[in-house]
C-alpha cells in the first residue's frame, strides 16, 4: 500500500493523459464490434482507487464524502430493485445499471481529484500541474480531430442520426460529447496559457487556441458553435474589468484572442457546418408540419412493453402521456415542432413521470427502461425524472454547493475580482446550461472526468482567495 500511496498521483495523471487513446479504442470497438478494453480500464481505475482512498485513507471531509457515495449506492440499489419487482426484462435492468455506473464514475472522479488536491503539500503547484495536464489532453483531442480532417479520414458528427448533415468528430465516438468537453475546458485552458505558464511562446499559445477553435468550428453542433460566443464575450469584459480594478496592465494578447475568435466565428458562420445543419433542420421542420417522427410513433413496439398488458401501470401512464402530447401538438402547432425529437422526449418524460405511481416519483421512471426514441437527450431532465429528485440531489449536491459558493464569492468580491474564479465559474455555468438544454455531459465518462477537474480547480480558487484574505 505504501507503493500506491507514493504513486497514486502519477497513476491518475497518466490515466487522464491516456483518455484520448481510451476514447479512440472505444470508437474502434463500436465500428468493429470487438469488446473495448477501455470499458474495463476506466471503471477499474476510478472505482478501485476510490474504494482505496475512501476506506483506507484520511483526508478532509472524508466522512461526508463516504456518506455521499453510500447514499448514491443505496439509491441505485432501490432504483434497480423497484424495476426488478415490477417485472422489467433483466437485460433492460442491466442496461440501466450500466448507466448508473456512469453517474457513479463522475462522482468517484471528483472524489479522487479532491483527495489529491487536499493531500498535496503545495496546492498551487498541484493545481497548476493539473491545469497543464488538462491543456495537454485537450490539445491531443484537438490534434487528432484536426489531422483526421486534414487527411479526410474523420467520421461525421451525425453519421448515424443524419448522414446528410455536416460536421466532423475525428475518430471519436460522439461529436456532441467532444464539443461539450472543449467548451467546458476552454476557459481553464485560456487561463493557464495566458496567466499561469509565462514560459510558453505567445505564438504557441495562439496556435493552441486556434487548433481548438478550428475543431469546435467543424464539429457542426449549434450548442458547441454558439457557446464560443458565451465564452469569449463575457471573458473579454471580465478580463478588462479585473485588470482595471487591480490596476494591472490589460492583457492585450488575451483580449485580442477573444476578439479575433468572436469576429472569425461571426464572419464565417454562414460557411460553417453548423449553419448548413441549421438549414437542413429548418427544411425538415417545415416538411414535418407538426408530425411526430416514425421512430417515436413506433415506440410502443419497444422491448419495454414486451409481456405487458394494457392494464399495466407503465403502459397506462405511457398511453396517457402520448395522448397528452398529441393534444399539445393539436392545440399549439406553432410551438410544437414535430421534427424536434428532443422537445418531444422532454415533454414525454415529464408527462410520463406525472402519470406514474408515487414510487416512481421518488426513484425515477428509469432511463434505459424507456422506449428507444423517447429517452431524453437532456442530462438535467434525465436526472430529475428518469432517476428521480433523490438522485438529482445526491449526484449534484457538491457541484451545486461549490457553484453557489463560487457565484456568491465572485459577486461579493465585485470590486476585488479574481480571474481564476471568474473563468472557472463561467465554465461551470456553461456545464449547467448545456446539460439543461442539450445533454451529453455528466452522464458520460469522457466528459465527466474533466468536469471533476474543473470543480477541483474551482475549490482551489476559493481556498486561494480565503488564504489571501487571511494573510491580509
The C-alpha angle with vertex 158 and arms to 279 and 97, in degrees rounded to 5, equals: 130
| 331 and 373 share one domain | yes
| 120 and 224 share one domain | yes
| 217 and 297 share one domain | no
**What is the model's pLDDT at position 302?**
58
In the chain, which residues have pLDDT < 70? 29-35, 284-308, 333-340, 465-472
Is residue 314 assigned to a domain? Answer: yes
Give the tens place of pLDDT for each residue, 117-141: 999 999 999 999 999 999 999 999 9
**What is the model's pLDDT at position 472?**
44
Is residue 384 assigned to a domain? Answer: no
Is residue 30 assigned to a domain? Answer: yes
Asked whether 323 and 347 are in contact (CB, 8 A), the reply is no
| 328 and 394 share one domain | no
| 203 and 329 share one domain | no
| 443 and 371 share one domain | no
The candidate with the shortest Cα–Cα distance to 72, out of 440, 393, 454, is 393
Contacts of 391 (CB under 8 A, 6+ apart): 72, 75, 79, 103, 363, 364, 383
Is residue 383 assigned to a domain? Answer: no
Tally of domains within the chain: 2
In 233-261, which positions are buried (b, 16+ CB within 10 angstroms) versus exposed (e)?
ebbbebbeebbeeeeeeebeebbebbeeb
**What is the model's pLDDT at position 307?**
61
Give the tens place of pLDDT for each residue, 77-94: 999 999 999 888 888 899
318: helix, strand or coil: helix
Work out the widest C-alpha separation in the chain, in whole angstroms: 72
| 345 and 233 share one domain | no
**What is the model's pLDDT at position 30?**
60
Q: What are phi and psi for residue 246, nearest 5 degrees?
A: -90, 0
| 457 and 347 share one domain | no
Tell me the residue length of the chain.
Answer: 472
The whole-angstrom separation of Cα 23 and Cα 46 is: 16
Is residue 151 assigned to a domain? Answer: yes
Domain with 457, as residue range(s), is 2-277+390-471
Structural domain ending residue among the three candidates 377, 405, 437 = 377
Measured CA distances, 125 to 16, 122, 201, 320, 398 (Å):
18, 5, 21, 57, 24
| 298 and 194 share one domain | no
365: helix, strand or coil: coil
| 461 and 358 share one domain | no
Structural domain ending residue among the three candidates 351, 377, 403 = 377
| 132 and 202 share one domain | yes
Is residue 282 assigned to a domain? Answer: no
| 439 and 328 share one domain | no
Structural domain ending residue among the three candidates 349, 377, 405 = 377
State the pTM of this model.
0.92
Amino acid at each position: 500500500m505504501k507503493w500506491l500511496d507514493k504513486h497514486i498521483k502519477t497513476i491518475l495523471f497518466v490515466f487522464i493523459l491516456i483518455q484520448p487513446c481510451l476514447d479512440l479504442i472505444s470508437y474502434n470497438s463500436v465500428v468493429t464490434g470487438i469488446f473495448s478494453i477501455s470499458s474495463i480500464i476506466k471503471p477499474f481505475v476510478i472505482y478501485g482507487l476510490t474504494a482505496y482512498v475512501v476506506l483506507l485513507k484520511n483526508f478532509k471531509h472524508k466522512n461526508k464524502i463516504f456518506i455521499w457515495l453510500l447514499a448514491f449506492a443505496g439509491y441505485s440499489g432501490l432504483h434497480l430493485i423497484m424495476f426488478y419487482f415490477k417485472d422489467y426484462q433483466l437485460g433492460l435492468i442491466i442496461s440501466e445499471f450500466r448507466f448508473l455506473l456512469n453517474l457513479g464514475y463522475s462522482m468517484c472522479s471528483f472524489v479522487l481529484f479532491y483527495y489529491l488536491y487536499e493531500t498535496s503539500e503545495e496546492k498551487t503547484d498541484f493545481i497548476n500541474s493539473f491545469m497543464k495536464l488538462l491543456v495537454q489532453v485537450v490539445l491531443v483531442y484537438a490534434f487528432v480531430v484536426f489531422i483526421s480532417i486534414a487527411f479526410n479520414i474523420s467520421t461525421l458528427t451525425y453519421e448515424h442520426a443524419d448522414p446528410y448533415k455536416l460536421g466532423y468528430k475525428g475518430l471519436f465516438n460522439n461529436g456532441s460529447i467532444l464539443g461539450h468537453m472543449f467548451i467546458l475546458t476552454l476557459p481553464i485552458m485560456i487561463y493557464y496559457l495566458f496567466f499561469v505558464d509565462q514560459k510558453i511562446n505567445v505564438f504557441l499559445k495562439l496556435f493552441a487556441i486556434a487548433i481548438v477553435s478550428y475543431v469546435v468550428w467543424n464539429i457542426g453542433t449549434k450548442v458547441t458553435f454558439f457557446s464560443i460566443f458565451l465564452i469569449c464575450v463575457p471573458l473579454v469584459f471580465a478580463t478588462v474589468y479585473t485588470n482595471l480594478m487591480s490596476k494591472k496592465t490589460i492583457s492585450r494578447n488575451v483580449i485580442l484572442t477573444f476578439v479575433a475568435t468572436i469576429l472569425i466565428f461571426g464572419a464565417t458562420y454562414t460557411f460553417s457546418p453548423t449553419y448548413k445543419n441549421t438549414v437542413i433542420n429548418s427544411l425538415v421542420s417545415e416538411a414535418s408540419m407538426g408530425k411526430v417522427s416514425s421512430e417515436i410513433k413506433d415506440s410502443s413496439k419497444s422491448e419495454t412493453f414486451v409481456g405487458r398488458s394494457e392494464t399495466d401501470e407503465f403502459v397506462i401512464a405511457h398511453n396517457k402521456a402520448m395522448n397528452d402530447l398529441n393534444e399539445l401538438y393539436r392545440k399549439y402547432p406553432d410551438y410544437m415542432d414535430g421534427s424536434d425529437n428532443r422537445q418531444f422526449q422532454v415533454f414525454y418524460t415529464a408527462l410520463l413521470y406525472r402519470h406514474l405511481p408515487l414510487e416512481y416519483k421518488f426513484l425515477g421512471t428509469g432511463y434505459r427502461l424507456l422506449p428507444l426514441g423517447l429517452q431524453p437527450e437532456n442530462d438535467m431532465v434525465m436526472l430529475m425524472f428518469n432517476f428521480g429528485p433523490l438522485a438529482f440531489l445526491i449526484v449534484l449536491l457538491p457541484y451545486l454547493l461549490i457553484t453557489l459558493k463560487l457565484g456568491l464569492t465572485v459577486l461579493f468580491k465585485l470590486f476585488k475580482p479574481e480571474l481564476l474564479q471568474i473563468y472557472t465559474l463561467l465554465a461551470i455555468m456553461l456545464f449547467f446550461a448545456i446539460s439543461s438544454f442539450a445533454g451529453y455531459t455528466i452522464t458520460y465518462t469522457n466528459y465527466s472526468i474533466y468536469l471533476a477537474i474543473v470543480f477541483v480547480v474551482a475549490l482551489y480558487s476559493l481556498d486561494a482567495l480565503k488564504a489571501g484574505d487571511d494573510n491580509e
